[in-house]
Structure 1
């Protein structure tokens, strides 16, 4: 079990480092673009491609990082009102619906990435590499949803009463 904990920690560090690196890169690229446009120092024809790619990676990998730590936005006041057992049942339904969505997202994202034959106009990077972040992040969120599902089932089984 300690090996799984170590792997999870490494995944957590990587999932946090990638969006941070993308955000830092976006900051410097955007700052450089403002400076270059203000003083007409250089042209940045590749600017849009890099910004779109970094933003997509930041959003999808950042979503997976938030999902891993249950830090994403969710309304859980109804779970608290219902009590431990009923709240856990509602959580179970919520996780199940999320898993269906994530499965479709992974499936369609994989389909999009695998069928993509285009390359970016300036840098010539295959768009499939950029689109691959969709199924990868969805698969990671799906794995962590399975973990959440196990926790929710345990809460239902171990709850002494339905309050």
Structure 2
């Protein structure tokens, strides 16, 4: 169990560091693009990298927020029926599990279909769009953890 906790902390730290590095790269890329336009030099290469960076930033940030349960959550039904809150949470976790499975399946399908080279850097776009199934798989792992916790809370309620 300790090994899983250490692995979880390592994944969380890696996610945060990756997002920080990618946002920093995006900042300097956009800054250099602006500065180059001031001296009337046009570059099409940075725009290809911006697309790559934004896809990975958005999805890695989503995984990090998903892991920490910090995504937007509507609790109206749980608040109206507190006795059913644990059961509702299990249903929500199952729906999230289905979402992750769809993200992995269709993300992989999309990434494999996007096998084209960018015009300037000649990067295969699969490297950008592979973020969909990779991040979907990470979200699925965290969702399985959350589903186990939710199911356990139905059968073994914690004391308030």
TM-score (norm 1): 0.90
CA deviation after TM superposition for structure 1 residue 77, in Å: 4.2
Aligned residues: 159
Equivalences for 1:88-127 in 2 at 5 Å? 88-127=86-125
Q: How does 1:1-163 map to 2 (within 5 A)?
A: 1-40=1-40, 42-83=41-82, 85-159=83-157
Q: Report runs of 4+ in structure 1 exceeding 3 Å deviation.
A: none
CA–CA separation in structure 1 for the residues paired with 2:24 and 2:35: 17
Structure 1 CA distance for aligned equivalents of residues 44 and 157 of structure 2: 60
Q: Distance in 1 between matches of 2:115 and 2:76?
A: 45
- CA shift, 1:24, in A, is 0.9
Deviates more, 1:112-121 or 1:51-60: 112-121
Q: Give the Cα–Cα distance (whole angstroms) in 2 for the partners of residues 43 and 18 of structure 1.
A: 29
Report the 3-state secondary structure (helix = DSSP H, G, I; strand = E; otherwise coil) of the residue aligned with 1:121. coil
- C-alpha RMSD of the superposition: 1.7
Report the Cα distance in structure 2 between the residues aligned to 1:118 and 1:2, rounded to whole angstroms: 43
What does the per-residue CA deviation read over 1:75-120, in whole Å, with 9 as the maximum and x for residues that have no partner?
Answer: 124324422x511111111111111111011011112223432111
Instruction: Give the distance between the partners of 2:56 and 2:133, measured in 1 at CA.
Output: 12
Q: Give, in whole Å, the separation in 2 of the partners of 1:26 and 1:117.
A: 24
Q: Which segments of 5 or more consecutive residues in structure 2 lack a partner in the other structure?
A: none
Distance in 1 (CA, whole Å) between partners of 2:29 and 2:68 is 29
Query: Counterparts of 1:131 and 1:137 in 2: how far apart (Å)?
Result: 10
TM-score, normalised on structure 2?
Answer: 0.92
CA contact (8 A) 1:81 1:87 kept: no
- Structure 1: which 5+ runs fail to align? none
